[in-house]
Each structure stands twice: as structure tokens, then as C-alpha cells.
């Protein structure tokens, strides 16, 4: 069991600092603007909260399309609340046990929890990079995400959260190595 709260709190801080004039800016995620990324964070916080609660319904049966759903008007508050609820739901030890469903996929609870942590951690970096903010990840969470990403087979056709791996020096900071494992270029900039 891993505490998602430090990661969700940090990402909530990033969200609070996003300016309205940055909503259409590019992100490290191809074809995803800051607006679409924020909408994705909003949707995944609800989906993985419900996965922790073992809810089998519309929020866990398929991945919402953040490009077709409008970003809520109160997006800063909605995303902050959603991330807080996500972290709180994974505080319950039963969330990490049995089977859970997210994005239409049945997975063991402990895997689902790691996917949730991975999503929030990586998309936190995406948001920070796109909006020029600094980003640090708590060591326990970063270690868990690194182990999780290392288990995902490298494939030139990987898509979604994981693109093809990006080479990163062995002596690079741990966050950079994790980003490379997930198919992100740690040197990406919006400019």
C-alpha cells in the first residue's frame, strides 16, 4: 500500500498555478493541450477513486475521452477535490486487495493502485513541463512508479500513457529515468 496523497497534493498545487492563457498550450503528450490534460486528470481522478471503491459502472467501464468532454468551469476546484478523493479512497487497505476495474480493464487492486499513482505522477510532470513549473515527486512514490514503468515492455508501437522508451543516462536524476521509461523526453519544453 502506497500513500498517493503527497503526489495528488503536489499535482493539485500545479493545477492551481495553471493560468487561463496556458490552457491551449502544448504538453509532452502528443495531441494533448493543457486543457485536455487537465480534463484527463479530472476524469482519471474519478475513475481511479471509483476503482478503489470497487465500483463497476460508467466511471470504470471505459476511459473517458478528454477531447470531447468540456473542462468544468470550476476545473481548479474540481480537479483538486477529485485528486483528494482519489488519494483518500486508496488509503483504505481493501482498495489494494481483490480485483478492481478502471478504463474497462479488470486488474488486481494493487496493480490498479500503481496505475493510478503512475497516471497522476507522470501527468503531473506533463503539466509542470507544459506550464513551466517545477516538479518533485516523493521518493516512495517515485520508486514505485519506476518499478512499475520498468515492467512495461518496450515496444515502438506503445501508445497512451507509455510511448516508446527514451534513452536517458544511467546517472540522470531518478525522475528523468522514470520519464524515459515511460516514453517521455525529460528535456521536453513547450517552446
Distance of CA 121 to the CA centre of its chain: 5
Domains detected in the chain: 5-181 (1.20.120.450)
**pLDDT tens-digit map of 6-21:** 999 999 999 999 999 9
67 or 99, which is more confident: 99
At residue 158, the pLDDT reads: 54
Beta bridge partners of 26: 33
In the predicted structure, residue 50 carries a pLDDT above the cut 80: yes
The yes-or-no verdict on residue 65 having pLDDT over 80 is no
- Please return the burial class of 138, using the count of CB atoms within 10 Å of its CB with bins 0-12, 13-18 and 19+: middle
CB 135 within 8 A of CB 10: yes
86-98 per-position pLDDT tens digit? 999 999 999 999 9
Contacts of 125 (CB under 8 A, 6+ apart): 28, 135, 137, 175, 179, 184
Average confidence score pLDDT of the chain = 92
pLDDT of residue 55: 93
Q: What pTM does this model have?
A: 0.93
Amino acid at each position: 500500500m502506497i500513500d498517493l496523497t503527497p503526489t495528488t497534493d503536489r499535482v493539485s498545487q500545479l493545477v492551481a498555478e495553471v493560468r487561463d492563457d496556458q490552457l491551449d498550450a502544448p504538453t509532452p503528450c502528443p495531441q494533448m493541450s493543457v486543457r485536455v490534460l487537465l480534463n484527463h486528470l479530472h476524469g482519471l481522478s474519478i475513475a481511479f477513486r471509483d476503482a478503489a471503491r470497487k465500483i463497476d459502472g460508467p466511471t470504470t467501464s471505459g476511459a473517458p475521452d478528454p477531447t470531447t468532454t468540456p473542462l468544468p468551469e470550476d476545473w481548479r476546484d474540481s480537479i483538486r477535490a477529485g485528486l483528494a478523493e482519489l488519494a483518500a479512497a486508496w488509503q483504505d487497505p481493501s482498495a489494494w486487495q481483490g480485483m478492481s476495474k478502471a478504463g474497462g480493464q479488470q486488474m488486481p487492486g494493487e496493480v490498479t493502485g500503481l496505475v493510478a499513482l503512475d497516471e497522476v505522477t507522470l501527468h503531473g510532470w506533463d503539466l509542470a513541463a507544459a506550464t513551466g513549473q517545477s516538479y518533485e515527486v516523493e521518493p516512495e512514490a517515485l520508486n514505485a512508479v519506476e518499478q512499475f514503468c520498468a515492467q512495461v515492455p518496450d515496444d515502438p508501437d506503445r501508445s497512451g500513457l507509455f510511448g516508446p522508451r527514451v534513452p536517458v543516462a544511467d546517472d540522470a536524476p531518478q525522475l528523468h529515468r522514470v520519464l524515459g521509461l515511460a516514453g517521455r523526453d525529460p528535456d521536453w519544453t513547450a517552446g
